[in-house]
Structure 1
Amino acid sequence: MSSSGGAVVAMARRAERTIVQTLREAGATSADRAVPLSAGRPGGRMALRRLLRREAVRESGDRYWLDERAYEAMRDGRRVRAVFALIIVAAILIAIIVFGPMRANAQTPALRPDQAAFRDLYEELVETNTTLSEGSCTLAAERMGARLLAAGYPAADVRVLVPADRPKDGNLSAVLHGADRSAAPLLLLAHIDVVEANRADWTRDPFTLVEEGGYFYARGATDDKAEASVWVDTLVRLKTDGFRPRRDIKLALTCGEETADTWNGVEWLLREHPDALQAGFALNEGAGGQLDAEGNRVALNVQAGEKLYQDYTLELTNPGGHSARPRKDNAIAAMSRSLAALGDYDFALELNPVTRAYFTAVAASSPQYAADLRALTAADTPDAAAAARLSAANPVWNATLRTTCIPTLINGGHAPNAQPQRVTANVNCRIFPGHTIEETQAEIARVLNNPAITITPLGAPDPTSPPPPLSPAILDPIRQIAGRIWPGVPVVPTMSVGATDGRFTNKAGIPTYGVTGMFGDPDGGGTHGLNERIRVRSLYEGRDFLFDLVKAYAMQR
């Protein structure tokens, strides 16, 4: 909180009687426990609106309503110690009345009106819980759909598509029609489900958007509600601006990307509502901008293609026996030796057009490794010595150069005084494009070198496809717009070492590219972990970049 905000809270704590009087002067009464929306100055009212989703205040009709504890203080006039809601409501109202248009967050510059509208949309989506355990993608889709309808989209062009047997896993489909119906549509794709977040583990409530220290914090702040919010905001702006694209612009906000082993919205849409996704090409998550440790922009990445995700279950059994009479073929010891061999093993070095372009671009901005990077890409066959040094220097480079398979889970034994009869392990592989699950399984078996260990692929296989082409039609608009917004920052093609919904759309014949224009910290920003965050500056800059990019693609011939 700013120093002025801290002073307001301190004043509230020192003089509760003054607080109650101030609330009354603002329009709150003991009869209706409400403050008129007209209270305070416009800048202050905007700040108060940003608290509507907190427990202390809510909006109904033309008033802000105080929570029960604040109302009790108003009704009885009694002193209430350590009442969080009263302190917060009073502090905000005093700030509105006394300090006028002072911003609620003084850490960031004043927002443009269009940015303020976007922030409200972003906050609403982020604060709609969409975890598998207790959230609802359907509610999030309905809320975003309502914003499109309010912008003037016909109801026929905005659909919330919900599987009959999964009522909370809804998806939003929308379209802005273009002038040339023969032109292949552009698809804006993002997922609105998020991974689980335990409130007790986080520094801040993961399902409340917090702006602090130049960052937005929340589950989904980046993955993937940042881009999902930008896509909705883009369609709203295009509609209100009266923009008529040459080609249709389709929007698909989907559920189930984070839990694809359970259910996936893109798979379901391709099967049940293919018209929602059919397009000439798609923009998706998968790559953003890179910042260094000092916050300087290093590169803007564009993802084309991704590795294949596959888990394998390993199992080893033997008769076991009493621990006082040990066997040489102890199942835990034998499995451990084989897993250690797999951990030490490097799959073959490989380059494809995307990864070759990636390392070529990285060489220009990494003087420390430039010689090795050039040696890596100079010949058809990668230089093994250079690759070894690069792999040791950067785990992402290592993962970009080859298939990787590592043990991630192990379980064995049934009693502390008995030899194990059964040991299982999970091996997680990220398979380089062009290789099959069966081929990788055979290589794992060779490395384990123990025919007693059974290897079973886990789950249905993910679709595989070659990387989509990085043609000038795709790259040129990105380079031109990025060059205007971030002069001198290189645009770097990448292959994702993780997995996105692009694996389904690419397989369906929709070339899908990961591009967000949002620059992230080198530590990953807590994505899938604690205290997920995105730089405020990065979000607003990425929004501007994507808006211009969508317009450029929409008018392309």
Structure 2
Amino acid sequence: MAEHIDATALDEAVRFTSDLIRIDTTNRGQGEGVERPAAEYVAERLAEAGLDPVLLEKAPGRTNVVARVSGTDPGADALLVHGHLDVVPADPAEWSVHPFSGEIADGVVWGRGAVDMKDSDAMVLAVVRAWARAGVRPRRDIVLAFTADEEDTAQFGSGYLVASRPELFDGCTEAIGESGAFTFHPGDGRRFYPVAAGERGTAWLTLTATGRAGHGSKINRTNAVTRLAAAVNRIGEHTWPVRLSPTVRAALTELATLYDLPLPDLDAPDPEALAAGVDDLLARLGPAAALLAPTVRNSANPTMLDAGYKVNVIPGSATAHVDGRVVPGGDEEFTTTLDRLTGPDVAWDYLHHEIPLQAPVDAPVFAVMREALLHFDPDAHVIPYCMSGGTDAKQFSRLGVTGYGFMPLRLPEGFDYQAMFHGVDERVPVDALHFGTRVLDRALRAL
């Protein structure tokens, strides 16, 4: 397969990343965010490539862009390629460079969104523009979606698009989005490219304890704060049982083979034996276990507390928030466990609830992504993995679209990709953008 990525495309991938970073699209939650300037920038770049982008908003400023690239096979299913335009907040005082500078220095592009995920948006733009210059078309229709509000609830972004404009995604059966196909260095000379074929579900919770309000000097056995604190402690200290999705099973099997380690009985009927076997394998895998450890279990982390208004007043209620994540197939266990851990004196409800996802790792689309990565890095290993968090793929799954995380970056050893997400001094190497643009071009034309 001939490559159609020229020097212009490589330069554009870098320049577009920098330009998009300089457009502050901070999403502070609760509906506070403005993606429109970035959406207009993307739409202009797509229109220059001869496409017909559509800008869509649920609320002023919360703008999405959708465009379709026509394929050569009108009978083929369409492919969705999606990326979000919003970013999480960044405090300039904590950064080495201003987080919205988009500075390019020493072979690195700096700023909020450099890996999450304006770099990916830029690479996609660079690829489709290179196709337009070369007169190249993909085999199947490719729908491009650049969304708002992914960093919060997606109600202004992919959630709105799926509910209000599903016809824009007609024919789409599979999708690629964040955040897989990055280089993971386990420290032993190997290079892994984890391609996401699943996501844990989102279960953000509100806990509410009620009790008898009163004077802080009086004994109070129905203290709402005490009740809440006890429930929060139980949740925080709980050890969840191992629950393996097909993706995680496949990843454990591949890594055990690569490291020549015995594979435990992944179908062990005894939960304690299963947990012991999996935890032992993870320990033997060393740094490589970081790809899997967050996704072999459900999790629930208390993150926020709110109670009272004066030190000598016992409040009648107290609230907490918990960030819960649920493995594919783990929903029932999650709810029954939370009922038990909160107890009779604390109520809980979902603040935000999204389903877990599972995609087949033996599908042709996964094989194509593997081939594209190995074509440009033949000594590496491509493995499936399940994302510990969530993406817009959850929303698009409601249209029957199977989602994968595939936004390639070849990263140098010592570059902590995961720490860049929502972290200080977020940045991406220029070489990584060049690699990702080439891999995306090859994969998208073969899918």
Using the size of structure 2 for normalisation, the TM-score is 0.87
Kindly state the Cα deviation for residue 195 of structure 1 after the two structures are TM-superposed. 1.3
Partner SS state of residue 458, structure 1: strand
CA distance in 1, matches of 2:267, 2:350: 37
* Aligned pairs (5 A) from 1:12-31: none
Kindly state the Cα deviation for residue 200 of structure 1 after the two structures are TM-superposed. 2.9
Partner SS state of residue 223, structure 1: coil
User: Which letter does structure 2 place at the counterpart of 1:423?
Assistant: A
Specify whether residues 405 and 451 from structure 1 end up closer, same or farther in structure 2 by C-alpha distance, changes over 3 A only: same
* Aligned pairs (5 A) from 1:412-423: 412-423=307-318
* Aligned pairs (5 A) from 1:177-192: 177-192=70-85
Q: In the alignment, which of 476, 498, 503 is matched to residue 367 of structure 2?
A: 476
Partner SS state of residue 420, structure 2: coil
The answer as to whether partners of 1:289 and 1:298 remain within 8 angstroms in 2 is no
User: Which letter does structure 2 place at the counterpart of 1:283?
Assistant: I
The Cα offsets for residues 528-547 of structure 1, whole Å up to 9 and x where unpaired, read as: 12211122222221111111
The answer as to whether partners of 2:215 and 2:312 remain within 8 angstroms in 1 is yes
Structure 1 residue 489 corresponds to structure 2 residue 380: yes
- Give the aligned partner of residue 208 of structure 1: 101
Kindly state the Cα deviation for residue 216 of structure 1 after the two structures are TM-superposed. 1.7
The answer as to whether partners of 1:267 and 1:504 remain within 8 angstroms in 2 is yes
The answer as to whether partners of 2:184 and 2:194 remain within 8 angstroms in 1 is no
The answer as to whether partners of 2:13 and 2:437 remain within 8 angstroms in 1 is no
Partner SS state of residue 290, structure 1: coil
Partner SS state of residue 130, structure 1: coil
* Aligned pairs (5 A) from 1:302-317: 302-317=195-210
CA distance in 2, matches of 1:339, 1:210: 42
Q: In the alignment, which of 16, 25, 49 is matched to residue 130 of structure 1?
A: 25
The Cα offsets for residues 465-497 of structure 1, whole Å up to 9 and x where unpaired, read as: 651222341122222222221122111111111
CA distance in 2, matches of 1:352, 1:264: 30
Higher RCO, Cα 8 Å, sep 6+? 2
- Give the aligned partner of residue 149 of structure 1: 47
User: Which letter does structure 2 place at the counterpart of 1:412?
Assistant: A
Structure 1 residue 510 corresponds to structure 2 residue 401: yes
The Cα offsets for residues 432-471 of structure 1, whole Å up to 9 and x where unpaired, read as: 11243x75233112123x3111122224x32x36512223
The answer as to whether partners of 2:200 and 2:325 remain within 8 angstroms in 1 is yes
User: Which letter does structure 2 place at the counterpart of 1:196?
Assistant: P
Q: In the alignment, which of 410, 413, 427 is matched to residue 533 of structure 1?
A: 427
* Aligned pairs (5 A) from 1:112-511: 112-132=7-27, 136-151=34-49, 153=50, 157-163=51-57, 166-260=59-153, 263-278=155-170, 279-292=172-185, 298-366=191-259, 370-371=261-262, 374-375=263-264, 377=266, 383-389=274-280, 397-436=292-331, 440-448=334-342, 450-459=343-352, 461-462=353-354, 464=355, 466-511=357-402
RMSD value over aligned CA atoms?
Answer: 2.6
CA distance in 2, matches of 1:551, 1:340: 51
CA distance in 2, matches of 1:122, 1:311: 31
The answer as to whether partners of 2:17 and 2:122 remain within 8 angstroms in 1 is yes
The answer as to whether partners of 2:166 and 2:399 remain within 8 angstroms in 1 is no
Partner SS state of residue 264, structure 2: helix
User: Which letter does structure 1 place at the counterpart of 2:400?
Assistant: G
User: Which letter does structure 1 place at the counterpart of 2:112?
Assistant: R
Partner SS state of residue 321, structure 2: strand
Partner SS state of residue 506, structure 1: helix
The answer as to whether partners of 2:127 and 2:441 remain within 8 angstroms in 1 is yes
Specify whether residues 295 and 375 from structure 1 end up closer, same or farther in structure 2 by C-alpha distance, changes over 3 A only: closer
CA distance in 1, matches of 2:217, 2:439: 68
Report how many aligned residue pairs link the two structures. Answer: 429
CA distance in 1, matches of 2:206, 2:192: 38
Using the size of structure 1 for normalisation, the TM-score is 0.71
User: Which letter does structure 2 place at the counterpart of 1:479?
Assistant: R
CA distance in 1, matches of 2:366, 2:410: 18
The answer as to whether partners of 1:203 and 1:531 remain within 8 angstroms in 2 is yes
CA distance in 1, matches of 2:20, 2:46: 14
The answer as to whether partners of 2:190 and 2:380 remain within 8 angstroms in 1 is yes
Specify whether residues 313 and 508 from structure 1 end up closer, same or farther in structure 2 by C-alpha distance, changes over 3 A only: same
Specify whether residues 388 and 132 from structure 1 end up closer, same or farther in structure 2 by C-alpha distance, changes over 3 A only: closer
Runs of 5+ consecutive residues of structure 2 not aligned to the other structure: 1-5
- Give the aligned partner of residue 95 of structure 1: none
Partner SS state of residue 276, structure 1: helix
User: Which letter does structure 1 place at the counterpart of 2:277?
Assistant: A
The Cα offsets for residues 76-111 of structure 1, whole Å up to 9 and x where unpaired, read as: xxxxxxxxxxxxxxxxxxxxxxxxxxxxxxxxxxx9
The Cα offsets for residues 205-234 of structure 1, whole Å up to 9 and x where unpaired, read as: 111112234432111111111111111111
Structure showing greater radius of gyration is: 1
CA distance in 2, matches of 1:466, 1:206: 32
The answer as to whether partners of 1:465 and 1:506 remain within 8 angstroms in 2 is no
User: Which letter does structure 2 place at the counterpart of 1:498?
Assistant: G
Specify whether residues 379 and 542 from structure 1 end up closer, same or farther in structure 2 by C-alpha distance, changes over 3 A only: farther
Partner SS state of residue 14, structure 2: helix
CA distance in 2, matches of 1:440, 1:309: 11
Kindly state the Cα deviation for residue 135 of structure 1 after the two structures are TM-superposed. 6.1
Q: Aligned residues: percent identity?
A: 27
The answer as to whether partners of 2:248 and 2:384 remain within 8 angstroms in 1 is yes
Kindly state the Cα deviation for residue 299 of structure 1 after the two structures are TM-superposed. 0.8
Kindly state the Cα deviation for residue 184 of structure 1 after the two structures are TM-superposed. 0.8
- Give the aligned partner of residue 38 of structure 1: none
* Aligned pairs (5 A) from 1:88-127: 112-127=7-22
Specify whether residues 433 and 346 from structure 1 end up closer, same or farther in structure 2 by C-alpha distance, changes over 3 A only: same
Specify whether residues 338 and 389 from structure 1 end up closer, same or farther in structure 2 by C-alpha distance, changes over 3 A only: farther
The Cα offsets for residues 502-551 of structure 1, whole Å up to 9 and x where unpaired, read as: 01112320111111121453362431122111222222211111111111
CA distance in 2, matches of 1:127, 1:470: 37
